[in-house]
Amino acid sequence: MKSYKVVIWKLSINRSAKKPTYLVRWSVGGDPFHESHKTKALADRFRAKLLRAADRGEAFDTVTGLPDSLRGGKVALSFVELALKYLDDRWPEASAKQRDSVTDALATVLPVPVKALRGRPAPDVLRRALRSYLLPPPRRERDRPEEIAAALAWLSKASLPVAELSEGSRAQELVDTLTRRLDGKPAATQTYRRRRAVVFNVLEYAVELEALTSNPLSRVRRKRGKRAVQEVDRRVVVNPRQARELLTALTYVGGYDRASGRRLQAFFGCLYYAAMRPAEALGLRLADCTLPEKGWGRIELAETRPTAGKAWTDSGEAHDRRGLKQRETGQVRTVPIPPPLVRLLQDHVKEFGTAEDGRLFASERGNVVAASSYSRVWKQARALALLPHQVDSVMAARPYDLRHAGVSQWLNSGVPAPEVAARAGHSVDVLLKIYAKCIDGQEQEMNDRIMQGLGEDPAD
């Protein structure tokens, strides 16, 4: 939008910085703008250009506050407009998980770099307006309730030009926002990294569009407290006996008719014996498995079915259909599987068969098993297999902890880290970092070596 209602004030001096700067202040349509200059001469020159444009009767842009003569004829891009352009460009190729992640990050930061306009919507209304109506391209044509329409109208007017994000204080404000959860408490390191990566990529896109000369986030770092540790908590890791008892307890869950526990016993077996991610197990097909009558078998993992939510998938289903995590489409990961898992899978096929598309694990209706369903079954199995104080602890609290237990068992059995990493789908450095505290059996050996180095008898 443009306005001819322009007021240009006298220069003012900002003495709050180490070296005073000169501010040119003006308003367009009642909205204030300012630009800082290092010297009085530069500030005078810029103010004179504004005055000449106003005298010539030029219209001033209400987003940037500048006349066409100072914008080079280009329409300034607001942060909200940049976000929409980015989503339009990336949405078709993004996975459902990525779509969810990108809209979450943008809904967090878009309300931050804004002008001080009256009528700011409540945070929850603004976030819902962004996540459910504006950001996802398929949802932009939906009918908008009055409060949603008002919130988006306010944001469209208040959103600052992308060019203003190059200021250090603006970029730092974005980073500080990413470090907090919606309730204001510190966000987990992984959440911060995921959101920062999204915003960084959006600003890189602005550089491609020549709306920015450089990415301002590359010059700003998180204000760190104590560094968060990403290692697995060894308390969640069950030993082989406990894992077997948990898998046996599943056969008692759900009653004979529904057989919900037995239907998922081999699914949980894949998480432990093959260290598979739940999404990998949900995508496993009988054709991917080699199940001999005796000895070790083999699984060729090629597809995952991660839970994403109907709002983010092209199919409208709750589960997306993707290749393996952090691998090119079509790549396969081979995992040798021990006889106990071979038997579990054979028994599963005999009793439950497969889904129409060949998947091994499906609900009673043939659908992909919901995370809420297998988590509920797992909770009941824990109550049957573990001691009361263990049930109240973090031991195997989540189905994913079976994967941690499987990887830890391989490492503790002496399997070389590169081989474990290949089977689990990790890089070696990430594997050793995550499971550093879960490698048992070496403490006594190290103690004996130290005693020998001291010239003492290790038996003392």
Residue 364: the pLDDT is 85
Residue 430 has pLDDT above 80, yes or no: no
For 185-223, write each residue's pLDDT tens digit. Answer: 888 888 888 999 999 999 999 888 888 888 888 887 776
Indicate the range of 209-218, 306-315, 359-368 predicted with least confidence. Answer: 306-315
Which residues pair with residue 299 across a beta bridge? 289, 335
Q: Read off the pTM.
A: 0.58
For 132-180, write each residue's pLDDT tens digit. Answer: 999 999 888 888 999 999 999 999 888 888 888 877 788 888 888 888 8
Cα–Cα nearest to 62, from 166, 126, 156: 156
Backbone angles phi, psi at 357, to 5 degrees: -90, 10
Residue 326: the pLDDT is 54
pLDDT mean across residues, the chain: 84
- Three-state secondary-structure class, residue 407: helix
Residue 377: the pLDDT is 93
Cβ atoms of 354 and 285 closer than 8 Å: yes
More confident residue, 66 or 285: 285
Residue 145: the pLDDT is 92
Task: List all residues 6 or more positions away from 180 whose beta carbon is below 8 Å from its beta carbon.
Answer: 186, 187
Indicate the range of 36-50, 142-156, 316-330 predicted with least confidence. Answer: 316-330
Residue type, 313: T
More confident residue, 329 or 56: 56
Cα–Cα nearest to 97, from 320, 331, 370: 320
Tokens representing 300 are 């060729």
Backbone angles phi, psi at 87, to 5 degrees: -65, -40
Residue 270: the pLDDT is 95
For 389-402, write each residue's pLDDT tens digit. Answer: 999 999 999 999 99
More confident residue, 347 or 59: 347
Residue 392: the pLDDT is 92
For 51-87, write each residue's pLDDT tens digit. Answer: 988 887 888 877 678 887 776 545 568 899 999 999 9
Q: Is residue 339 very low, low, confident or very high in pLDDT (cuts 50, 70, 90)?
A: very high
Mean pLDDT of 282-311: 84
Cβ atoms of 247 and 379 closer than 8 Å: no
- Three-state secondary-structure class, residue 307: strand
Residue type, 224: R
Q: How far apart are the C-alpha atoms of 200 and 79, rounded to whole Å?
A: 13
Residue 105 has pLDDT above 90, yes or no: yes
Residue 226: the pLDDT is 45
Cβ atoms of 154 and 120 closer than 8 Å: yes
Residue 31: the pLDDT is 83
Which residues pair with residue 8 across a beta bridge? 26
Angle between helix 168-178 and 96-109 (nearest 10): 120
Mean pLDDT of 91-104: 89
Residue type, 235: R
Mean pLDDT of 333-354: 94
How far CA 23 is from CA of 153, 169, 328, in Å, comes to 30, 16, 52
Q: How far apart are the C-alpha atoms of 180 and 159, rounded to whole Å?
A: 21
CA 436 to chain centre: 24
Residue 1: the pLDDT is 66
Q: Is residue 227 very low, low, confident or very high in pLDDT (cuts 50, 70, 90)?
A: very low
Q: Is residue 229 very low, low, confident or very high in pLDDT (cuts 50, 70, 90)?
A: very low
Q: How far apart are the C-alpha atoms of 299 and 274, rounded to whole Å?
A: 9
Residue type, 31: D
Mean pLDDT of 83-105: 90
Q: Is residue 439 very low, low, confident or very high in pLDDT (cuts 50, 70, 90)?
A: low
Mean pLDDT of 265-276: 94
Residue 257: the pLDDT is 45
Residue 269 has pLDDT above 70, yes or no: yes
Task: List all residues 6 or more positions away from 413 whose beta carbon is below 8 Å from its beta carbon.
Answer: none
Backbone angles phi, psi at 436, to 5 degrees: -55, -40
